[in-house]
Amino acid sequence: MRTEHAPTIHRADYRPLAWTVDTVELYFSLDAEASIVRNTMQCTRQGDGPLVLLHEGLMREDLTVNGAPPKAMRDEDGRIEIDLDGEDAVEVVVVTRVNPSANTELSGLYQSAGGLFTQCEAEGFRRITCFPDRPDVMTRFTVTLEADRRDYPVLLSNGNLVEQGELEAGRHYAKWEDPFPKPSYLFALVAADLVVLDRKVTTVSGREVLLQVYVEAGNLDRADHAMDSLVNALRWDEETFGLELDLDRYMIVAVGDFNMGAMENKGLNIFNAKYVLAKPETATDVDYEHIESVVAHEYFHNWTGNRVTCRDWFQLTLKEGLTVFRDQQFSADMLARAGGETARAVKRIEDVRVLRTAQFPEDAGPMAHPIRPDAYQAIDNFYTATVYEKGAEVIRMLHTILGPEGFRNGMDLYFSYHDGQAVTCDDFVEAMSEANGVDLDQFMRWYSQRGTPTVHADVAFDGEAETCTLTLTQSRPDKDDEPLQIPVAVGFINAVGDDIPLRLQGEAEAGATTRVLQLTERQQQFVFEGLRPGSVPSLLRGFSAPVVMAINESDAQLAFRMAHDADPFNRWDAAQRYMTRTLLAMAASDAPEVPRAFIAAFDTVLNNIALDPAFRTVALTLPSEAYLLEQMDVADPAALRRAMIIMTQTLGRALADDWLGHDEALAVPGEYRYHPGDAGSRALRNLGLRYLCAANDHQGVGLAELRAANAKNMSERFGALMALVQSPAVEAAQLALTAFEQTFGGDALVMDKWFAVQAAAWRWSPEQPATLERIEALTQHPAFSLGNPNKIYSLFGSFFRNNPAEFHRPDGAGYRFWADRIRELNARNPQVGARMARMLENWRRYTPELQQLAREQIEGLLKEEALSPDVREVLEKALG
C-alpha cells in the first residue's frame, strides 16, 4: 500500500516527456499469485532529458536497455529516470511479477471470482509494469496472454485476436493486437471462465463487426439488455455525430468486484456487473435505465476519450463531461422514441436532481474545484460529480448557445484537428469557437471557476406601457471571479395558464414562447413588451445553466406554476421549490404541520391524469434530505427527519383514496417490458405505496406485503419492499425482508438492494431498532463482504449518504462507525475508502454539537500513521 504523504500536483507544471513509446509488446504469464509480465518497449526521443518510467508496488525482476543494464539510472518514489545521452531510440525490457490475488485495491491486475481482470484508469498500469504511465504517451500495443486453460478458458485484450493455441502442461495462449495507438490507461486484459453473447451488426459504411457481452456462466439470460443498449448506442452515434465503430470486434465484460461503474478500455470495456446484468425478475426499471446509459457512455468514449484523449488528468472533463452529455442525450432520445417528449423531460429532471443532490454540495464544500481542477494529490479523488455532471452541463450550455448544428460542426472540426491526439479542454472549446465563428473566451471561465453561481431575478411590470423589465444579476461564491456567460431560458405564463409569445424591446413582432437570454455581465436588464402585470415568469427553463435561480415567488405562484408551467422541467422545479420551503419551515417549527394549500397543490398534480405517471412521480417525490440539509442555515438532520416523517405520513393519510385509486388504475398488464410508459406507471404505484405505508394505511400495507411477496418483476417487488421498510409497519417489513433474503440470498446484485434499503431505513417510532445497530449486524451477514465495492456502497454508502438523521446521531455513534470503516478501507482499498471519507466532508454545515463530534473523529483518523494519499487528501481538506 502507498503510505507516503502525497505531494500536490499542479496543472501549471505540465511538461511533455523527453521520451515516448512507439510500440509495446506485453507477454503475460498469468497466475493468481504470481503473474510474470515481460514488457518490451521501443522508445524514441522527442526532447532533452532522461527516459521516465513510473511504477507502484511492483516486484521488478529485470530491466535492460538495448539488452544491457542501464548505466545511469535513478529510482525514487515510484519514478525511474534513465539517462540516455547520445541515444535517440532504444529498446527497453522490463520484467515484473505481480500477485493479483493480493490486490485488494482493485487497481492494476486483480482477481475477482477466480478470474483475472485489470483496471488501469487513472494510474493502474504502473502497478502492472514500469511505463511512462501518462495519457499523453500513445503507444501501439501487442499483448500475449498465457494461462492455465481450465481456470482461464477465455483470454482477452484490446483490439483484434491474431493468434491463439495450446501450450504444454494444460496452458494455452492468445495474442491480441490493437491497431490504434492508445495511452496506457486504456489497456485491459481478462483471463476468466466466462460465457459470451455474440451479435453481428453492419456499420454505416458497410463493415461487419462482432459485438460481445461476456458474463459468468448462468448469467447469459441477463445479457440481452446490455447488448441491445450497445447496438442502440452504436446506431445513435452514427446518426447523431457521424461517428462509426472503428474496430472489428467490441467486447463488454462483466465483473463482480469493481471500484467504479465501468471502464472504456479500447475494444474491451470492463463493467461492474451491476451495469450489465438485467432480467425482469432481478433488475428494476431504474437498473435497466442505468445499464442503457452506462453501456452507451463507455461506447461513446471510443471517440470522445479514446480516439481523442486527455493530455493530462487535469483535462479529465474533456472526455468525461463531453461523454456524460452524449450519454444523457442518447438516453433522452431513446426514452422519447418509446415514451414521447415527457419521457425526455423526465430524464432531464432526473439528471438535474443528481446534479443538485451530489454536485451542488460538493461545489459548496471543502473539495470544491472547477470542472478543470488546478491541483490534486490523488487523481482518483477527482472523478467527481463536478468533473462529470457539472462538466456535462457546461457542454450542454455550448450546445444551447451554438444550436445542434453548430455543435455538430464543432465536433466535426474537433475530430478533424485532433484525432489520434492527447489534447486539452482549450482545444475542444477552440474547435467549437472556430467552427461557428463565435468568441468563447468568456465561456472558458466555466472551466476555471468553482462554486455554484447564483442568478438573482427581479421582475418589474409597467402596467401602462405593458412592459416587463427582467433584471438578472449573477453572483459568484468566489467574490473576485469575473462574470460568466450564462444562457437563461425564459418564458411567461398568462393568467389562464398559457405561455405568452415573447417580444423583446426592439423586435418587430412576438416570437417563440421560450427565449434564451445570454447573461454575460454582472447585471443586465431585458425588457419584454406587451406583457400584462400578473404574467408569471418561468425562468431557467430546462435548467439551461448549472446555477441557482433566486426569485421571490409566493406559494400561490409556485402552486400556479406546478399546475400550469408549459415547461415540464420548471413545472417539476416549482414543485421542488414549494416542497423545499414547506419542509424547511416545518423543520424550523416546534409544532410542524403540512399547510392545507400545499396538500391541495400536491393533490392537483397527483390527480391530473393528463400528466404522464412518470412525470407525476418525479413531481411528487420529495427533494432528497441531502439537498434539503444543504438549504438549511445550520443543517439539523433530526429536525429535518421529523418534518419528512410528518410530511410523508400526512400526504399518505390525506390522499389515501387517491393513491389507492391510481394504484388500481395504473396496474401494468402482461409480461414485463422495459418501456418508459410501463416504468412510469410502476414508479407512481411504488411512490403511492411509500406514502401509504408511511401513513401505516391498512390497505396500502396489505398491497405492499402482497407485492413484495408475489410480484413477477423486481421493479414492483423492490418498490413494495422499500415501502414497507420505510414505514412504521415494523413486523410486515421484517417478514418481507426475510422472505426476500430467502429468495435472493445467492444473488449478489439483488442482495445489494437488500442491504441498501435497510441502511437507508428511517426510524419511525422508538420501538424500531436503531438503523446503525442493524447495519452493524448486517456486516456479519454471509452475503456481505468488505472486499466487494458494491457491498460497501450499498450498506455503508447508502447509510452515510441517504440516511442523515441516523448517521448524524446526537450520540456520535454514527461518526465512530464511519471512522472505523475508513480505517478498514484505507488499508484495503484507498479509492473506495476516500469515497466513504467524503461522506462527512461537509461536517461544518451541521449543528455545533455534531461538529464537535465529527471533528474528533476526523482528527483521530488523521493521526493514523499509514494513511493513503487518497484518504489523507479528503480528510485534510475537510479539516483545512
Judged by CB under 5 A, the chain residues 323 through 362 that form the site for Zn ion are 323
Q: For ligand ARG, what does the binding mask look like between residues 180 and 199, x meaning CB under 6 A?
A: --------------------
Residue whose C-alpha cell reads 416504468 in the numeric block: 679
Residue 842 CA neighbour count, 13 Å, CB half? 27
Of 298 and 351, nearer to ligand ARG (C-beta) is 298
Q: How far is the CB of 485 from ligand ARG (least distance, A)?
A: 27
Residue 769 makes CB contacts below 8 A (sequence gap 6+) with none
Q: Which does 528 bind (CB under 5 to 8 A by kind): ligand ARG, Zn ion, none?
A: none
Please name the helix (run of DSSP H) or strand (run of DSSP E) that holds residue 160, with its range, or none.
Answer: strand 160-166
**Given 121, 298, 553, 705, which residue is catalytic?**
298
CA distance 27 to 146: 8
| Minimum distance from residue 301 beta carbon to ligand ARG (Å) | 6
Q: How far is the CB of 382 from ligand ARG (least distance, A)?
A: 8
* Residue in the block written with cell 454540495: 361
Q: With respect to Zn ion, which residue has the nearer C-beta, 371 or 714?
A: 371
Helices (H), 355-468: 360-363, 385, 391-418, 425-436
CB of 490 to ligand ARG, least distance (A): 34
Show the DSSP H helices in 75-166 as ranges: none
- Residue closer to ligand ARG by CB (options 214, 762) is 214
Q: How far is the CB of 395 from ligand ARG (least distance, A)?
A: 15
Give 199-207's long-range contacts (Cβ < 8 A, gap of 24+): 199/227, 199/231, 201/231, 201/234, 203/234, 203/238, 203/244, 203/245, 204/238, 204/244, 205/244, 207/244, 207/245, 207/248
Among 105, 136, 237, 380, binds ligand ARG (CB under 6 A): 380
Regarding 854 and contact with ligand ARG (CB under 6 A), the answer is no
Taking the complex as a whole, the smallest distance from the CB of residue 789 to ligand ARG amounts, in Å, to 11
Binders in 263-322 for Zn ion, by CB under 5 A: 320
CA 819 vs CA 84, 142, 796: distances in Å: 48, 45, 12
Amino acid found at 351: D
Grid cell digits, residue 434: 472556430
Which contacts of 331-335 are long-range, i.e. CB under 8 A and separated by 24 or more positions? Answer: 331/289, 331/292, 331/293, 331/296, 333/236, 333/240, 334/232, 334/236, 334/292, 335/676
Contact 48, 15 (CB under 8 A): no
Kindly tell me which of 178 and 320 has the beta carbon lying closer to ligand ARG: 320
287 binds, among Zn ion, ligand ARG, none (CB under 5 to 8 A by kind): none
Q: Which region among 53-61, 258-266, 333-341, 363-371 touches ligand ARG (by CB under 6 A)?
A: 258-266
Among 264, 287, 612, 678, binds ligand ARG (CB under 6 A): 264
We find the least distance from the C-beta atom of residue 360 to ligand ARG, in angstroms, to be 21
Residue showing cell 412504521: 728
230 binds ligand ARG (CB under 6 A): no
Q: In this complex, which beta carbon is closest to ligand ARG, that of residue 474 or of residue 868?
A: 868
Binding of residue 285 to ligand ARG (CB under 6 A): no
**Position 260 contacts ligand ARG (CB under 6 A):** yes
User: Judged by CB under 6 A, which of 106, 122, 435, 606 binds ligand ARG?
Assistant: 122
**In the complex, minimum distance from the CB of residue 294 to ligand ARG, in angstroms, rounded to a whole number:** 8
| Residue 630 is a binding residue for ligand ARG (CB under 6 A) | no
Query: Choosing among ligand ARG, Zn ion, none, which partner's interface includes residue 268 (Cβ < 5 to 8 Å by kind)?
Result: none
3-state DSSP call for residue 109? strand
Task: Provide the minimum distance between the beta carbon of 176 and ligand ARG in the complex, in angstroms, as a whole number.
Answer: 21
Size of the site for ligand ARG (CB under 6 A): 11
- 351 or 573: whose CB is closer to Zn ion? 351
Residue 121 near ligand ARG by CB under 6 A: yes
Nearer Cβ to Zn ion (323/758): 323
* Active-site residue, 521 included: no
**Chain CA centroid to CA 641, Å:** 26
Binder of residue 393, out of ligand ARG, Zn ion, none (CB less than 5 to 8 A by kind): none
Q: Position of cell 467504479?
A: 260
SS3 call for 871 = helix
Phi, psi angle pair for 726, to nearest 5°: -90, 55
* By the rule CB under 6 A, 383 interacts with ligand ARG: yes
The closest alpha carbon to 294, from 399, 213, 397, belongs to: 213
Cβ proximity to ligand ARG, 21 vs 378, nearer residue:
378
Give 533's contacts (C-beta < 8 A, 6+ positions apart). 461, 463
Please report how close the Cβ of residue 320 comes to ligand ARG at its closest, in angstroms: 6
Neighbours of 455 (CB within 10 A): 20
Residue with Cβ nearer Zn ion (100 or 321): 321
Q: Which residues are 177's β-sheet partners?
A: 142, 160
Strands 108-112 and 73-76: unpaired
| Residue 223 · residue 195 · CB < 8 Å | no
**In Å, how far from its chain's centre is CA 193?**
29
Are the CB atoms for 853 and 815 separated by under 8 Å? Answer: yes
Residue nearest to ligand ARG (CB): 383
578 burial via Cβ count (<10 Å: 0-12, 13-18, 19+): buried
Task: Tell me: does residue 289 bind ligand ARG (CB under 6 A).
Answer: no
Q: Is residue 262 at the binding interface for ligand ARG, with CB under 6 A as the rule?
A: yes
Taking the least distance from each CB to ligand ARG, the nearer of 381 and 649 is 381
- Closest alpha carbon to 549 in 442, 447, 443, 459: 459
- Choose between 297 and 372: whose C-beta lies nearer to ligand ARG: 297
Min dist. Cβ of residue 106 to Zn ion (A): 17
| E-only strand ranges, 181-243 | 189-192, 194-202, 208-216
Tell me if 318 contacts ligand ARG by CB under 6 A: no
Which region among 257-265, 389-397, 447-455, 597-605 touches ligand ARG (by CB under 6 A)? 257-265
For residue 684, the tally of other CB atoms under 10 A from its CB is 24
Q: Which of residues 598-657 bind Zn ion (CB under 5 A)?
A: none
Among 285, 320, 553, 806, binds ligand ARG (CB under 6 A): 320
Minimal CA–CA distance to 307: which of 237, 250, 246? 246
Q: Name the amino acid, one letter, at 128.
A: I
Does 263 contact ligand ARG by CB under 6 A? yes
In 773-846, which ranges are E strands?
A: none
260, interface contact from ligand ARG, Zn ion, none, CB < 5-8 Å by kind: ligand ARG
Query: Which residue of 298, 362, 612, 870 would you call a contact of ligand ARG, by CB under 6 A?
Result: 298
Q: How far is the CB of 225 from ligand ARG (least distance, A)?
A: 19
CB of 260 to ligand ARG, least distance (A): 4
- Give the one entry of ligand ARG, Zn ion, none that residue 564 binds, where binding means its C-beta sits below a cut-off of 5 to 8 angstroms depending on kind: none
503 binds, among ligand ARG, Zn ion, none (CB under 5 to 8 A by kind): none
Q: Which one, 272 or 436, has the nearer CB to ligand ARG?
A: 272
Query: Closer CB to ligand ARG, residue 264 or residue 362?
Result: 264
Query: Which of the choices Zn ion, ligand ARG, none does residue 697 contact, using the CB cut-off of 5 to 8 A by kind?
Result: none
262 binds, among Zn ion, ligand ARG, none (CB under 5 to 8 A by kind): ligand ARG
What number of other Cβ atoms are within 10 A of residue 8's Cβ?
A: 10
DSSP class of residue 104 equals T
Binding residues (CB under 5 A) for Zn ion: these are: 320, 323
Binding residues (CB under 6 A) for ligand ARG: these are: 121-122, 260, 262-264, 297-298, 320, 380, 383
Residues annotated as catalytic are 298
